[in-house]
Structure 1
Amino acid sequence: MIASTDNAIAKPFELIDLGTSRSDLTSRREIKYAFPQMDVGKLRRLLETNCRRLIHNNSVSVVRSIYFDDVRLSACRANLDGLRSRRKLRLRWYDSLKPGTDFFFEIKWRDNRITGKHRLQIRAADALENITYSQIRHNLEAMIPDYLIRDLTTNSEPIVIVQYNREHFTSDDGLRMTLDYDLTYYDQTGRQMISTSFPRRLEGLVVLEGKTPIGREAELRRWLHPFSPRVGRCSKYVYGCCQLGLIHASEL
């Protein structure tokens, strides 16, 4: 039976939000603290004492992101080399093992010490897990803004799914911190479709990420007293490349 022409034909991907509602993502400082073998409960209690918890859908969000790169792992290498200007591409969703129809296309950029994020909310006509990677790229090329096309074409290879638990905290005057733990990775190299087979856990690592307006970076440390953690790059994507054997641990 032929479908009625009165019904609009569903587009493969539909742009829901260009990210204009999140002005805090456009330009900020992001500071990371890594705690190997740290008790998550101690850090949680410290943050609950010094600031307040933010709850979105759940008290603990499960974050999953597919990171894309080129065959030379240029985005990974840019982080290892400490390049002052670099960009990463990922598709992100929350609280389900595989993505459904709603997800985020994100370009995370760094220019010297300033970071920002282009974040597009997208809705697919079918669950993303049912679509091949080549079709995902094709659908994205047809609908993302022109200024992001180069990121997509130069980072065309799916590398890894990064998964972790995240808890959100904030101060009354706009500082934010996230508590990330239980990091798990899923190899996507050579895959035709999204795969969550053979998870690889990174045991013991806890990451605190401070997000602050430019000029207020020093204020984050008062949240962590009496701990005195060192600031580190601590890219979850780079750790994932190491877990998959794509880079050597000595390079971290």
Structure 2
Amino acid sequence: MVSENEIRPAPEVLEPPKAAFRVVEDDVVRTDLASRREVKYVFPCGDVAKLRGLLNGSGRRLVHNKPVSTVRSIYFDDVQLSACRANIDGVSRRKKVRLRWYDSLAPGQDLFFEIKWRNNRITGKHRLQLQAQQPITDLPYRQIVDELLGVLPASFVGELLPSNEPIVIVEYKREHFESREANLRATLDYDLAFYDQTGKRHISTAFPYRLPNVVVLEGKFPVGCEQDLKNLLHPLSPRIAPFSKYVHGCHLLGLLPMSF
């Protein structure tokens, strides 16, 4: 029996569980992401070395952490794949929601939540830098989405809520270049791979569908600088071609009918 004078231990205070994500930085102030033209050129059997040499000769190479980055993004949509179908149908105002990371097969500590938007020919991107507080691969997708909804600004929440189903992980190598006047940028994307996430409980990088020979050159520039891009690509005069990595991933993984 405990005497009245005996000191009892204080009850244990349980700390609330730590959030999975912490907001680090909002890139919405970056003018190169806010509003721009974006065009794509697709080379089904492209020679990366030749294209790299061309862009190096006409412009200059940009290095972000590594000369060649590996980009991976989880694309979110609804069960009807509405964002995917809006792209196929050529809807003039549309958006895509994704969670992106770099240079590791599984998400590490640094991630970016992005909303890519298009309004006719003008594109832009709202990007929020996040820091993972725990291994994201240990979390089920439902918890990942709930944790994102808990830290994102209201405008981002409004985009994720109706598009909260993980559909595809898109992966590729990327090299960055810019014109000598620094008014436009170009990227070379190659070694594309796609991972089906539909029906998956956790992030899955098993059984990729690979497109090893396709090279995508993207030009990104302010409105009115179309001629500068042509100068950067000279003497090549490739034809602009629509190419959504997300849409191609959905198609190649059998998530869309063959006649898309």
Residue of structure 2 in register with 1:236 after alignment: 245
Partner of residue 135, structure 1:
143
- For residue 66 of structure 1, the aligned residue among 66, 74, 79 is 74
1:125 corresponds to 2:133: yes
CA contact (8 A) 2:28 2:126 kept: no
The count of corresponding residues between Structure 1 and Structure 2 is 249
Deviation, 1:163, is: 0.3
Mapped to 2, the partners of 1:17 and 1:32 lie a distance apart of 28
Match in the other structure for 1:194: 203
Q: C-alpha distance in 1, partners of 2:160/2:167? A: 14
The aligned residue for residue 224 of structure 2 is 215
- Identity across the alignment (%): 56
TM-score (norm 2): 0.91
Distance in 1 (CA, whole Å) between partners of 2:132 and 2:172 is: 24
- The partner residue of 1:225 within 230, 234, 240 is 234
CA contact (8 A) 2:58 2:180 kept: no
Aligned to 2:31: 23
Question: Which of 100, 113, 117 is the matching residue for 2:108?
Answer: 100
Alpha-carbon offset, residue 83 of structure 1: 0.7
Give the aligned CA root-mean-square deviation in angstroms: 1.8
- The answer to whether the 8 A contact 2:78-2:164 is kept is yes
Q: Give the secondary-structure state (helix, strand or coil) at the position aligned to 1:79.
A: helix
1:154 counterpart residue number: 162
Secondary structure at the aligned position of 2:199 is classed as coil
Which residue in 2 is equivalent to 1:78?
86
> Structure 1: 5+ residue runs without aligned partners?
none
Greater gyration radius:
2
Distance 1:182 1:3 in 2: 51
Q: Given the superposition, is the C-alpha separation of residues 204 and 249 from structure 1 closer, same or farther in structure 2, using an over 3 Å criterion?
A: farther
- C-alpha distance in 2 between matches for 1:33 and 1:50: 17
The equivalent residue for 2:187 is 178
User: Which residue identity does 1:129 align to in structure 2?
Assistant: T
CA deviations over 1:171-200 (Å, ceiling 9, x no partner):
232210000000011110100110000111
Matched residue of 1:106: which SS?
A: strand
Please identify, of 32-41 and 90-99, the stretch whose mean Cα deviation from structure 2 is larger.
32-41
Question: What is the match of residue 5 of structure 2?
Answer: none
Give the whole-Å Cα distance in 1 for the aligned partners of 2:12 and 2:56. Answer: 59
Higher mean displacement: 50-59 or 18-27:
18-27
Q: Offset at 1:124?
A: 1.8
For structure 1, which segment, 8-17 or 191-200, has the greater mean C-alpha deviation from structure 2 after superposition?
A: 8-17
Q: Check the 8 A contact 1:100/1:126 in 2, yes or no.
A: no
What is the alpha-carbon distance in structure 2 between the residues aligned to residue 45 and residue 238 of structure 1?
A: 29
> Is 2:46 the counterpart of 1:38?
yes
For normalisation by structure 1, the TM-score amounts to: 0.94
CA distance in 1: counterparts of 2:77 and 2:224, whole angstroms: 32
